[in-house]
A = this chain, B = another copy of it.
Amino acid sequence: MARNLATGQVSIANVAALANVSTATVSRVLSGQRDKDDDISRRVKEAAAKLNYSVNFAASSLRSDVTRTIGLVIPEISEEQTPTLLLNSLSAAIREANRYLLLAIGADAERQKEDLHSLLTRGIDGLIIISSNDENLVESLDEEYKNLPIVQIGGKSLTPHINWVGTDQSEAMRMTVDHLAEQGSHAIAYLSREIESYTAADLFTTFYTQSKALDLTPDPDWVQFGPCTMERGYQAAISLFQDRRVVPDAVVCASDSIAMGVLIACKHLGLDVPEDVKIIGYGDAPACEIAQPALTSIRPMYEEIAEESVSIICDWDTNKPRMAAYQAFKPELIYRESTWSPRTGSSDMTLPGTADN
């Protein structure tokens, strides 16, 4: 018999029979555990190819407790584009590592907790968490999962035994403020994330420090905390600029969505961007290219962050307890028209279509 009658699937026994070796040898050859390139090896590989054999995943997992599967918990894909962009890169990295991606999208912390539990009981080799709110999902984990490699991307690193990969936010802020200063800004406003988010505090500190270092005057009223939505950006800009004697000449935003809102508000108020106000976003969402003027934005190193996260999980060795990783990548600043004054850059509307396909 060439195949199991029930499932219609070729099993390792069929390969073993055809290659005239034991099932153990087939397993060893195909898993790369036995890498000698002799006659046996060739026979096994030929037999496997001929029968179109592929290992039964469930059986393999059951026996070896390895699933070749990485769980990913992310918040709902919405205005905030960062998770989406990261998802692309993560998927590519996981494919490269020859692993599978088990995805759970949970809008709020409650559902994310459910997702987490669900993935863990199902069985995965590692877990990647992109948490939008800085809630500590991992706190709720049972003891039995403490030796599973877990990587948190972004947010605040809360527990020392969780690997953290993300963007060097201080560096991001430094680049932002430096760039604006270079472009001639003196009075910078800062629309941050929610104050509860731990990163917000860090960013604010850097913003404040850097502003002072450059002899800029950060007006306390100009630093505001709130949600990462376009509406919030719009409202904040209105309150910053309307009926005010002293107004900022640049607005730094914690997300591209906020920046879009500011952009729209400026147009309504008849303010020229970048002549009167410079605007800078965060995330380098595709919409930055679309905006008019195109939006300068901080671009996290999505690919590097994804690859590093996957590497941590794939190279994990349970026996060798190493310290939790902490990898902060310096982001890129993507210069566009919203911070380029006509004198410095091109005032002509460049065609934005040459973006990524």
Taking Cβ atoms with an 8 Å cutoff, the residues of A that contact B are 7-9, 52, 54-59, 61-62, 65, 67, 69, 76-79, 84-85, 87-88, 91-92, 95, 100-105, 111, 115, 118-119, 121-123, 142, 144, 229-235, 260-261, 264, 267-268, 286-287, 289-292, 349, 351-357
Contact = CB atoms under 8 A, between A and B. Distances in A.
B229 A353 contact: yes
A57 B91 contact: no
B289 A230 contact: yes
A290 B91 contact: no
Contacts of A119: 100
Contacts of A261: 353
A285 to B, nearest CB: 9
21 contacts: A9-B144, A54-B121, A56-B123, A57-B123, A58-B62, A77-B84, A78-B357, A79-B355, A79-B356, A88-B105, A91-B103, A92-B105, A95-B104, A100-B119, A230-B352, A231-B351, A231-B353, A231-B354, A267-B349, A287-B290, A290-B290
- Give me the 7 closest cross-chain CB pairs, A-B, nearest first: A231-B353, A58-B61, A58-B62, A91-B105, A54-B121, A103-B103, A230-B353
Contacts of A292: 264, 267, 292
B289 A290 contact: no
A69 B356 CA distance: 32
Nearest to A290: B260
Contact of A102 (B101, B286, B291): B101
A292 B260 CA distance: 11
B104 A102 contact: no
Contacts of A92: 105
Nearest to A7: B65
